[in-house]
A and B are shown apart, each in its own frame.
Chain A
Amino acid sequence: MFRDLYITLKEFLRTFGAMQLFFLRLLSNSPSIFVKRFNLVVHQVHNAGALSLVIIMVCGLFVGGVLGLQGHANLSKFNAEDSVGTFAAFSLIKELGPVITALLFAGRAGTALASEIGLMKVTDQLAAMEMMAINPLRRVLVPRFLGGVIAMPLLVAVFTTVGLFGAHLVGVSLMGVDAGAFWQQMRSTLEMGDIYEGIVKSIVFGIVASLYAVWEGYNAIPTAEGVGRATTRTVVLTAIAVLILDFMITAVSI
């Protein structure tokens, strides 16, 4: 048993180390690709970002709506239903916005990235590029990684904004909270630090989600089953990493 544990641990450390190296290679190639091949990056921002917009907006609207309902129901016990705006803003900006967006991103864009890269590997497209003296890391992986990293904070911003709109819709229009109180309380209690926390989270989650998607796709076993497994692992690992990192960042910033 100890031997199994030892082998598992060794394997884990090896993968972990390889992933760090891979991350460094992505980072070191990122600036030049960003400058020289900006059009590729824009294309990937479109793929990962714009194409995820609908799902992000729908989810944001309903999450905001639930916050409005729950906030109103529970705060009214303390005669504090005017604070629904503050409640929704804090939840959305600091926690739910970045976390739920990252989970949705993993499900929508992460899986698409991983399976796309995995299939390119299965069909020898990456090998063919290498034989055309084109480095697939620079041509395929780095633009997709950057696309995800750039798209995530933008998606978080959209999610949070639509969420606040949803909370307003339910809290003010449906439950009859005063619109002035809704916004004024939010303005007076929310500080720039809270918003920065959300921004930091969105950037970190963007890096993690894109890194996992690209890594899993690139290292997929080149079979139908291998690509399937890579896609699943992308979602599972991103979800775990995002929730753990969320805890860590929150712990540091409080």
Chain B
Amino acid sequence: MADTSEQIIEVRDVDYSRGRLEIFKGLNINIRRGDVTAVMGPSGTGKTTLLRLITRQIVPDRGHILIDGVDIGKLNLKDLYRLRRRFGVLFQNGALLTDFSVFENVAFPLREHTKLPNRLIRHVVLTKLHAVGLRGAADMMPGQLSGGMARRVALARAMVMDPDILIYDEPFVGLDPISMGVIVRLVRKMNDALGITSILVSHDVQEIASVADCSYLISNGKVAASGSPTELKNTQSKLVQQFMHGMADGPVAFHFAAPDYEEQLLGRDVEQ
């Protein structure tokens, strides 16, 4: 275990449940400064919920989440918003503001938070758009963009305030191989060039293997395994093996919990 000062985010013994459904039970995760950390897990394990906990869109039932040693559960609204300025979040679908052009979308956080002159804003925005290769699309509207382009614009917007921590929620879903490769390279490039910390939520094992320094596999509300992607691939655990190699059946059953098949087809479960 590394020295604690290297940890930028610590999730300690977190429990979280939605209604009766228990999502996390005693979850512990440490995210090291400057790393690309991947959070993996089968669908429905609460990966997105974890991101929402880290950014305090929701509050855990028990346990603490520390960012730079500060418990975010204790912040008031003003400090919370100040903290959020250190985050850049890339939403699954981009979440671009549909009324604004690509340029205005990227400029949006700058216009809201700073009083920079227009010339400087233009300069910063064009730089960020150039970094994601979409300087030429500055005047387009979000509706005219493909899924991959929208996500790159969202990435430019997430970076525009120069955050310390960039969070990607399922950045590879539904992308063609070329766009996927572009995003994978961007994640790594941004992380190293800007010296930030990146958190990736995904279940695309191959992509994660090529980009992450460290990954956590979450299952049943806990961390099932952690380590570098190569370490994970070589683990003996059946669950990890099933996930890393994409096998249909194993500890994570293919079937969602259901009554007995035969009984149900014969209609006996209704009579009871």
Contacts and interface: CB of A to CB of B under 8 A. Distances in A.
Interface of A: 119-120, 123-125, 127-128, 130-135, 139
Interface residues on B, range: 20 to 34
Contacts of B236: none
A125 B81 contact: no
What DSSP secondary structure best describes chain A's contact surface? helix
B31 to A, nearest CB: 17
Interface in B51-103: 55, 57, 81-82, 84-85, 87, 89, 91-93, 95-98
A132 B55 contact: no
A131 B81 contact: no
B163 to A, nearest CB: 10
A125 B98 contact: yes
B119 to A, nearest CB: 19
Given A133-B113, A134-B109, A134-B112, A127 B84 contact: no
Nearest to A132: B109
A131 B93 contact: no
Contact of B91 (A120, A127, A135, A139): A127
Given A132-B84, A133-B109, A134-B108, 12 more contacts: A123-B93, A123-B95, A125-B97, A127-B57, A128-B91, A128-B97, A131-B57, A132-B108, A133-B82, A133-B84, A133-B85, A133-B113
B147 to A, nearest CB: 13
A125 B113 contact: no
Given A123-B98, A124-B95, A133 B89 contact: no
A175 B97 CA distance: 55
A123 B112 CA distance: 20
21 contacts: A123-B95, A124-B92, A125-B95, A125-B96, A125-B97, A125-B98, A127-B95, A128-B91, A130-B57, A130-B84, A131-B55, A131-B89, A132-B84, A132-B109, A132-B112, A132-B161, A133-B81, A133-B82, A133-B85, A133-B109, A134-B113
A98 B85 CA distance: 45
A173 B32 CA distance: 83
Contacts of B98: 119-120, 123, 125
Residue from B55, B87, B92, B95 having most chain A Cβ neighbours under 10 A: B95
